[in-house]
Amino acid sequence: MTPTSSPPLADLAVIRHFIDGRYVESPRPLFDNRDPATGKVVAQVHEADAAIVAHAVDAARRALQGPWATLSGQARAKVLRRLADGIRDRFDEFVAAEIRDTGKPASLASHLDIPRGAANFEVFADQIAASATEAFRSDTPDGRGALNYGLRTPRGVIAVICPWNLPLLLMTWKVAPALAFGNTVVVKPSEETPSTTTLLGEVMRDAGVPDGVFNVVHGFGPDSAGQYLTEHPDVDAITFTGETRTGTAIMQAAAVGVRPVSFELGGKNAGIVFADCDLDAAVAGIARSAFLNSGQVCLGTERVYVERPVFEAFVSRLKTAAEALVPGDPWAESTSFGPLISSRHRDKVLGYYARALDDGATVVTGGGVPQLPDALAGGYWVQPTIWTGLPEDSAVIREEIFGPCCHVAPFDREDEAIARANASPYGLATTIWTGDLTRAHRVAAAIEVGVAWVNCWFLRDLRTAFGGARQSGIGREGGVHGLEFYTELRNVCIKL
């Protein structure tokens, strides 16, 4: 392991681990980091071996006993606010790094990913001041009584395993509460999107975060950083966002040592559009929830059920909205639609496009690969796609695709729409469009999900509970709900 200086990320052709306040290399062969918009290699990344992961966990363990442990909650809150300011001070660098890793349009990275990445630290800085614990006065046989109160302590070393679709946003969504409540972290970003997490190491150091509190290891899952991290006995808890199959493997690793997990996993989310809705708003909302970030959003809508009187009009208008999306150079102002993350993921999505045809779908629009200039021809592009006419048992209806596509089907009765929305092993989110307030409450309560939006989508108050039901996850994140995972609750009983 060789400590190195840290050049600006824009000039960084080699991406290193960040451990104990320094950038370090590892002996394994480097792997390529590709720009999804072009398919070209833009950097090479060090892959962690077991020794590198052990070094990171050890640094995090030692930091639990160092200066971080002595900081008051208010002092930690000040550090978190400096982290938010540090991201904003280097806003252009973070935007460039996010675009290089994901290929998403600059308009999306600069208005969603990076601002939310910074805001997450401020939300949990505020949460420190708002956190409280329980207290009870109880009787005793001698009449003098006893006082019981809750004492929250940090959980310890947290393994943070992050997805590639919203890299900075979802990583800081976990790191911010972990640090707010006094833990230390070892972060493994997706191998597809290592850059913004690496850059955050510099911000952590500049903000005065003690060495070892924030550590980053790069690599893959099996026989690489992910496996070594989740199996390490000195990791006290694991938080993960990603596909359900990977979550299952992590949960098996966490069973050794009986360590807690917090999972936000896959989804096959349903949207329900009633005839009494504002149809223009519903079309715009479903178009956003189906095609934002090229459909690579766990909360996105891949199944749409539309009340029959407005079905034809809805499909026609949604087709217009999909065809108005403009793929292209992520930095161009006109670009509103980006590529998929990798060639492998594009092949998966195109496989479902082919399966839809085999199952008898009517392709309303899309279904293939767009024509782009030569400079972008090697990128991982697919068309925004809308289908109708598939049976409910089709794989396209049942399985998460995670691409810019949706199937639209008519319904006649409210109970029919609810039953079809709930006929899924997943239970992450839904979006409901109606002008009837009573119906809105009734349907939102009946859909078996963690988040139900009415006449909106992706509208988040970060203090509220976030998570999924069934195969979409375990636990809740956000606001006070993060306390349950990131702290241990100890009862103290004082005899008076």
**pLDDT (tens digit, 9 = 90+) per residue, 250-286?**
999 999 999 999 999 999 999 999 999 999 999 999 9
- Residue 3 clears pLDDT 50, i.e. is over it: no
Pairing of strands 41-45, 31-34: antiparallel
Active-site annotation holds for 493: no
Active-site annotation holds for 298: yes
Predicted local distance difference test score (pLDDT) of residue 1 = 37
Question: Which has more pLDDT, 69 or 224?
Answer: 224
Name the pLDDT band for 129 (thresholds 50, 70, 90).
Answer: confident
Quote the tokens at residue 86: 């540090």
Give dist(CA 435, CA 279) in Å, integer. 10
CATH superfamily of 9-265+472-495: Aldehyde Dehydrogenase; Chain A, domain 1 (3.40.605.10)
**pLDDT (tens digit, 9 = 90+) per residue, 161-205?**
999 999 999 999 999 999 999 999 999 999 999 999 999 999 999
Residue type, 323: E
3-class DSSP state for residue 154? strand
Quote the tokens at residue 442: 């009734």
Cβ atoms of residues 96 and 110 within 8 Å: no
CA distances from 211 to 63, 65, 152 (A): 7, 12, 24
Predicted local distance difference test score (pLDDT) of residue 324 = 98
- Ordered DSSP codes for 3-60: -B----GGG-SEE-EEETTEEE--SSPPEEEE-TTT--EEEEEPPP-HHHHHHHHHHH
- Choosing from 298, 400, 405, 477, the catalytic residue is 298
Pairing of strands 269-273, 214-216: unpaired
- Residue 215 clears pLDDT 50, i.e. is over it: yes
Name the pLDDT band for 110 (thresholds 50, 70, 90).
Answer: very high
Give dist(CA 127, CA 129) in Å, integer. 5
Predicted local distance difference test score (pLDDT) of residue 480 = 85
Predicted local distance difference test score (pLDDT) of residue 12 = 56
Give dist(CA 205, CA 476) in Å, integer. 29
CATH architecture for the domain at 269-461 = 3-Layer(aba) Sandwich (3.40)
Question: Which has more pLDDT, 4 or 428?
Answer: 428
Give dist(CA 257, CA 175) in Å, integer. 22
Number of Cβ within 10 Å of residue 88's Cβ equals 15
Residues in a beta bridge with 263: 240, 474
Predicted local distance difference test score (pLDDT) of residue 306 = 98
Predicted local distance difference test score (pLDDT) of residue 82 = 98
- Choosing from 264, 302, 307, 477, the catalytic residue is 264
Percent of the chain having pLDDT more than 70? 98
Longest dimension (CA), the chain: 86
- Residue 2 clears pLDDT 60, i.e. is over it: no
225 Cβ neighbours under 8 A, 6+ residues apart? 47, 48, 52, 53, 188, 217, 218, 219
Predicted local distance difference test score (pLDDT) of residue 113 = 97
**pLDDT (tens digit, 9 = 90+) per residue, 354-364?**
999 999 999 99
Cβ atoms of residues 79 and 208 within 8 Å: yes
- Ordered DSSP codes for 270-306: EEEE-TTS-HHHHHHHHHHHHHGGGG--TT-EEEEEE
**pLDDT (tens digit, 9 = 90+) per residue, 434-493?**
999 999 999 999 999 999 999 999 999 888 989 999 999 999 998 888 888 999 999 999
Quote the tokens at residue 470: 């069934």
- Residue 6 clears pLDDT 50, i.e. is over it: no
Name the pLDDT band for 132 (thresholds 50, 70, 90).
Answer: confident
**pLDDT (tens digit, 9 = 90+) per residue, 136-169?**
999 999 999 999 999 999 999 999 999 999 999 9
Cβ atoms of residues 224 and 154 within 8 Å: no
- Residue 4 clears pLDDT 70, i.e. is over it: no
**Averaged pLDDT for residues 115-142:** 92
pTM of the entire predicted model: 0.93
Top-confidence range, 12-26, 233-247, 378-392, 468-482? 378-392
Task: Give domain limits for the chain.
Answer: 9-265+472-495, 269-461
